[in-house]
Amino acid sequence: MAPTPLLGSRTLDRQTARTLPPGPRWPTLAQTVLFASHRRTFFPRMRAKYGDVFTIRLVPSSRVCVVLSRPDHIREVFGSPPAVMHAGEGNMVLEPIMGSHSLLLLDDEDHVRMRRQLMPAFSGQALRGYAGMVHELARADVAKWPVGTPFKVHERMRNLTLEIILQVIFGVTDTDRLNMLRPLLDKIVSVSPVIMLGGFYPALLRIRPWRTYLTTQRQVDEILYDEIARRRGNLGGRNDVLSRLLAAGNWTDEELRDQLVTLLLAGHETTATALAWTFHELARRPEELAFGQRAADADADDELEAIVKEAMRLHPVVYQVGRRLTETADVAGYRLPRGTTIMAAIGLVHRDGEHFPMPMDFRPQRFLSDDPPAPGTWIPFGGGARRCIGAGFSLMEGTEILRAALAAYNFQAPDPKPEPAQAKNVTLVPRRGSVVRVTPR
């Protein structure tokens, strides 16, 4: 099926433009730069000036993006038929990296089929099976942290979450193969916005640095295809994600490769960054640190998870998620035409005092009270039929890493001031790497 044409400079007429929500009239390039690099401040300013629903224009083709900031409006989007609100079409820029079978790029029946095949590997029972593996990897890594010397915990989290992907998701345990994959995967997950432009302009893929990136990708693919071939028919009671997928579904090698790369790119930087923000907040708040240490000592999973959830609320790693309208539809009180890009602004919802009293405070207990946040107000993993399939894995991973670190160390912040966020690709990371100092308990 042909993709839905973007509503933009080539398809938007003046009469339709007058019916869109209000928004800035600045040049498209200026709005794109602000969105790409400063969305954490750009979106709140646009909301303050234009209201809960506003329109921005982004490259390519000066595409029309309608931004939503109210949970009831966002629920309209998440609850709409997936055939009307396509998410995969909005991610096509990632196809050269993730592959055409990636769950993030599929829509309609293809998405339903692929998601159904992935589900057994991310069920509650499966997550409990991974938890012990994650905890052992976390304990081994935590034991190597420098004591008494400030270090960037974001770098540590990136290395640890990559190791978890290698061993728990890919199921690679051979030392030589691990040593070969680590530097290659580090290059893959460090994909820059410049490399992503290759998805919009395929001709770029023939020259550097795009050609260099694709060469690294082919080296990774060769190893992954070999790992898949070795695993077929010889699972041997293995408990990793790849083995569970092979046991539960009917996959081609290409489909498996694309899902593994998707899990790598979607689950690495996001989880590492969420944990970096978590440790940043705990290191600056002795009372919350003590709360977390008590939870770690008591194996209180709900309390450890609440700490991770609150960090994800206060510091949304992904600030917005998008959909593309495949037909004209009523959304947030507006009649929006086919091809409109709709953005659900996670960051605006998470810092709205109407939904989260004292929204700038770090208060994990808000997720443990008798009056927890209302449904649809905590949405770091999106929602509806496109909710991130790895959400449960990410929260389990965060809980186990937090348990291992808080059982071992006290945390201090060399600089007690809040660390600013910086845009890195689609994520918002701590600008200085979340510097902390640890001492043994």
Which single residue is written with the structure tokens 């007058």? 18
Place of tokens 């055939």: 83
Over residues 124-144, the pLDDT tens digits come to: 999 999 999 999 999 999 999
Rg of the chain over Cα atoms, rounded to whole angstroms, equals 22
Check pLDDT > 70 for residue 201.
no
If 0-12 CB within 10 Å is exposed, 13-18 middle and 19+ buried, where does residue 238 land? middle
Q: Which amino acid is at 257?
A: R
Q: How many other CB atoms sit within 10 Å of the CB of residue 234? A: 10
Beta-sheet strands, E only, within 35-158: 53-58, 63-68, 85-86, 151-152
Q: Is domain 85-342+361-372+389-440 given the CATH code 1.10.630.10 in the classification?
A: yes
Residue 340: name the closest of 42, 47, 34, 89 by CA: 89
Mean pLDDT for the chain overall: 93
d(CA 44, CA 52): 10
The Cα 432–Cα 248 span in angstroms is 43
Q: What is the pTM of this model?
A: 0.95
List alpha helices for 201-252, DSSP H.
210-231, 241-248
| Contact status, residue 156 vs residue 146, Cβ threshold 8 Å | no
Q: 243: which 2 tokens?
A: 């083995």
* 187 confidence band (pLDDT: 50, 70, 90): confident
In the chain, where are the structural domains located?
A: 85-342+361-372+389-440
DSSP string, 359-421: TTS--GGGGTSSSPPPTTS--TT--GGGS-TTHHHHHHHHHHHHHHHHHHEEEE-SS-SPPPE
Q: Which residues, 6+ apart, have CB-to-CB distance to 56 below 8 Å?
A: 23, 24, 31, 35, 46, 65, 67
**Tally of residues, the chain:** 441
55: phi then psi, degrees, rounded to nearest 5: -115, 135
- Give the model confidence (pLDDT) of 288-333 as tens digits: 999 999 999 999 999 999 999 999 999 999 999 999 999 999 999 9
pLDDT band for position 227 (cuts 50, 70, 90)? very high
In this predicted model, what pLDDT tens digit does every residue of 212-222 receive, in sequence order? 888 899 999 99
Query: What whole-number percentage of the chain has pLDDT above 70?
Result: 98
